Amino acid sequence: MEVIIIPIIASLVVIAMGKRIPMWLSALFSLLPILLVGKYFQQMGVEGGWKTIFDQPWISDNIRFTVGFDGLTGILLILTNALVPVIILGGIRNDENRVKITALTLFMQGALNGVFMAQDGLMFYIFWELALIPIYFITLTMSGVDAFKITLRFFLYTFIGSLAMLASLIYLFLHTANYSFAFESLRAVELSHTESLFVGGGILLAFLVKIPVLPFHSWQADTYTNTPAAGTMLLSGIMLKMGLYGLLRWFLPLAPESIEFYQPWVIGLSVAGVLYGALIAIRQKDMKRLVAFSSLSHVALIAAGIFTLTDAGLEGSVLQMFVHGINAVGLFLVIEIIERSTGTRILGELGGLAKNNRLFMVFFMLIALGTVAVPFTNGFPGELLLLKSVYTYNHNLALMAGLTIIFCAVYIFRMVQFSMFGEGTGTVAALKWNEILAFGILIVGVIGIGFMPQLIIDIVHNSIVQIGQWVSEARGVMS
């Protein structure tokens, strides 16, 4: 509970203090929740299902303010509360928007924590929308002619998806025994096949837009490219995970009857998205755009993994969510720092940055390697599991998805090559303490998970097994 409230209070404090607030203080604020998360881990453990840690009647006795904790929630809380400090430390420029963006980022942290902890369908929806508000305003601070248009497109996209989800949730709500939005009650609703197609489809749409999977992605590149770095990091690092988390936590348990129907479509689209994103990324000039499409490609693989419904796919997807959060934030941080120093992020205009800032080069390289999924970096185990799961589902699809490991190497190293290597005149200013700290946190993630992915797997294992059981039970009934 506190992890939701503290950041929101902190954001108010930041607004109240205005320009006087030093960065270290806001970073400290954002670091507080992770201590609480640690406490949760200690108190609750990761076994024994999704345990409620706070429960109050809210709108009615059956629509409650309920937050819970388990391994899956825990891992995403760690991700959120570790990345937000990174974003605040490294991702916010010291200009007139600093206070605003910092406050919004902190607010977002609270909302995201809420999304990952909510145990009540209505609360989940409310936090889901709440998380959209700060990012909308952050995106609006961008400069450029199309600002409003791009923001509107982004907003409408996600909002339409959300509405579909709301409709589905309400439908479920009306069919619960005691008119409750509680996760367990919603889950207990037995749907006919047709009903589940609609209900599942609604929920699925919200998540697919957020992830985004192939035909729903056109908000992504423009939004990423034009949003201030903090917004891009929030979007790519954490918000995308909302969609994936939603698939695992809400879609699979609530509408397992419809999975049979959607499975081939989603996997097909995802694999197409993997290739599509990768192919487009190969020729992008704008680094942010490049990473946006690479993100599209990577996340699509995660979605495919989830929908294979294999152990490897489900647990690999959580692992890869975590990893992708780190890597995406890392890459955008790198781009942000390059842009701050040189004023451009167009590949043709850069080059030779490695010459005078070795430290930065090392950070960049490590994160790039993580993205390329080289062994002993964090990208590898997750991608291995996901490809394995897709392979179990269909060999040919796995081969196509596997092409991404080639394309990914092509575009990431192309980016490294044209920005860091070669003869160029640009320089990257020496990193400040806050940037080094931000990179430090990320690098620990990159290397640590590279060697010990099992740590994360162990945390989420119980939750995932539970979800897998529900799904297989429902499918057992179906067949």
Partner 1 sequence: MIFLPLMGFVVNGILGKWMPKSLSGWLGTATVLGSFVLAVMNFMELSGGTPEIASINTKLFTFLSVGDFHVDFAFQFDRLSAVMTLIITGIGTLIHMYSIAYMHDDDGLYKFFAYLNLFIFNMLVLVLGSNYLMLFFGWEGVGLCSYLLIGFWYKNVDFGKAARKAFVMNRIGDLGLLMGLFLIYDTYGSFEYQEVFRQVFIGTADSTAVNTAIALLLFIGAMGKSAQIPLYTWLPDAMAGPTPVSALIHAATMVTAGIYLVIRSEAIYALSPFAREIVMWIGLATSIMAALIGLKQNDIKKVLAYSTVSQLGLMFIALGCGAYTAALFHVITHAFFKALLFLGSGSVIHGMHHEQDIREMGGLRKKMPITYLTFLIGTLAITGFPFLSGFFSKDEILVSAFTHNPLVFGLALISAGITGFYMFRMFFVTFHGTYRNHHHPFEKVHESPLLMTLPLLVLAVLSVVGGAVNLPHYLGEGISGGLHHLLSYDGGGKFSPILMYPEHVIELSHTAEIGLLAMAVSVFVIAFLYTRNKYVVKGAVPEADADQQGMGKVLSNKFYVDEAYDVAFVAPLEGASDTLTHYVDEKAIKSAVDGVGKGGFGLSKMLSKIQNGNIEYYLVYMVIGIALLLAFNLF
- For binding to partner 1 (CB under 8 A), which residues are involved? 153, 156-157, 215, 217-218, 221, 276, 279-284, 310-312, 315-316, 352, 354-355, 358, 362, 369, 374-376, 380-381, 384-385, 387-388, 391-392, 395, 398-399, 402-403, 405-406, 409-410, 413-414, 417, 420-423, 452-454, 457, 461
Q: How far is the CB of 430 from partner 1 (least distance, A)?
A: 14
Q: Closest CB to partner 1 among 99 and 400?
A: 400
Contacts of 335 (CB under 8 A, 6+ apart): 229, 287, 288, 291, 345
Q: How far is the CB of 123 from partner 1 (least distance, A)?
A: 30
Q: How far is the CB of 174 from partner 1 (least distance, A)?
A: 19
Contacts of 132 (CB under 8 A, 6+ apart): 155, 158, 159, 162
Q: How far is the CB of 269 from partner 1 (least distance, A)?
A: 12
SS3 348: helix
Q: Closest CB to partner 1 among 221 and 248?
A: 221
Which of 104, 82, 81, 108 is closest to 92 using CA atoms? 104
Separation between Cα atoms, residue 160 and residue 86, nearest integer Å:
31
Separation between Cα atoms, residue 238 and residue 430, nearest integer Å:
28
Contacts of 405 (CB under 8 A, 6+ apart): 372, 373, 383
Amino acid at 241: K
Q: How far is the CB of 265 from partner 1 (least distance, A)?
A: 17
Cross-strand bridge partners of residue 51: 69
Amino acid at 83: L
SS3 231: helix
Q: Closest CB to partner 1 among 100 and 461?
A: 461
Separation between Cα atoms, residue 41 and residue 142, nearest integer Å:
38
Residues in the chain: 479
Helix (H) or strand (E) holding 351, with range, is none
Q: Is residue 86 within 8 Å of 122, Cβ to Cβ? A: no
Separation between Cα atoms, residue 382 and residue 385, nearest integer Å:
5
Q: How far is the CB of 462 from partner 1 (least distance, A)?
A: 13
Q: Is residue 40 within 8 Å of 68, Cβ to Cβ? A: no
Q: How far is the CB of 43 from partner 1 (least distance, A)?
A: 26
Amino acid at 117: M
Give the count of beta carbons closer than 10 Å to the beta carbon of residue 402. 16
Q: Closest CB to partner 1 among 256 and 453?
A: 453
Q: Closest CB to partner 1 among 43 and 472?
A: 472
Q: How far is the CB of 468 from partner 1 (least distance, A)?
A: 8
CA 411 to chain CA mean position, Å: 21
Q: Closest CB to partner 1 among 188 and 410?
A: 410
Q: Closest CB to partner 1 among 45 and 424?
A: 424
SS3 373: coil
Q: Closest CB to partner 1 among 344 and 392?
A: 392
Q: Closest CB to partner 1 among 88 and 272?
A: 272
Q: How far is the CB of 216 from partner 1 (least distance, A)?
A: 8
Q: Closest CB to partner 1 among 231 and 381?
A: 381
Which is it for the CA torsion 193, 244, 465, 396, positive or negative? positive
Which of 165, 146, 152, 258 is closest to 208 using CA atoms? 165
Q: How far is the CB of 460 from partner 1 (least distance, A)?
A: 10
